Amino acid sequence: MRVIAVSNIFTVSNQFQDSTMEIVYSEPADAWGFNYSENPGFEQKCRIGVELVNPRTFRKGKTYRQSNGEYRRGTTFIDKQYKLRTEYFDEATHDIMAIALSHKYCTLNGKSIFLEEDYEIEQNDEPGFVDLVSPASAIVTEQGFNKQNYLC
């Protein structure tokens, strides 16, 4: 095993805990240019300015009608989604975030998430305006939330 970097234990003050989240990501095999197979169990971890907003739950399942006219649901799953919003980052940081969120295992403050929609950088479209830093957003699904019920 090769040590790439070491950091002392540090405490994040409350001032920053409200505006940042810890992102932890990894893969079971080599991916995205990282050699995870050389170090099984290796996780990448950093604290970055993102937030999860607008939580919503949605139902997936089929509804059917019985012969007596009553409606029933078959197996139903309820998932929870959030809009992920970032602070203003430069293009390189956005590239890193897009790759981090695309990993098989990704958590934000311990909440396991899955990137549902593309990571979209919000560029200003005004003529002659150049964005050196921009915010971004994406839709993520909380993994492990999927509440389910059979034959409601």
Mean pLDDT over residues 11-17, rounded?
53
**Domain that includes residue 95, residue range:** 14-149
CA distance 73 to 150: 8
Residue 9 lies in a domain: no
pLDDT digits (tens, 9 = 90+) for 55-74: 998 877 778 888 898 888 77
Cβ pair 114, 141 in contact under 8 A: yes
Residue 125 lies in a domain: yes
Query: How many Cα atoms sit within 13 Å of 118 on the Cβ side?
Result: 3
Q: Looking at residue 109, what is its pLDDT?
A: 92
Residue 6 lies in a domain: no
For residues 2-37, one letter each, b for 16 or more C-beta atoms within 10 angstroms of the residue's C-beta and e for the rest, the string is eeeeeeeeeeeeeeeeeebbebbbbbeeeeeebebe
Residue 70 lies in a domain: yes
Residue 54 CB partners (closer than 8 Å, separation 6+): 82, 83
Residue 4 lies in a domain: no
For the chain, the residue count is: 152
**Does the global pTM surpass 0.85?**
no
Task: Report phi then psi at 37, rounded to 5.
Answer: -65, -25
pLDDT at 3 over 60: no
Residue 3 lies in a domain: no
How far is C-alpha 89 from the geometric centre of its chain's CA atoms?
Answer: 17
Residue 144 lies in a domain: yes
Mean pLDDT over residues 83-110, rounded?
92
- Helix, strand or coil, per DSSP, at residue 50: strand
Residue 1 lies in a domain: no
Domains in the chain, number: 1
Question: DSSP states of 5-27 as a string?
Answer: ---------HHHHTT-EEEEEE-
Alpha-carbon separation of residue 124 from 2, 127, 131, 134, 135 (angstroms): 43, 9, 7, 8, 10
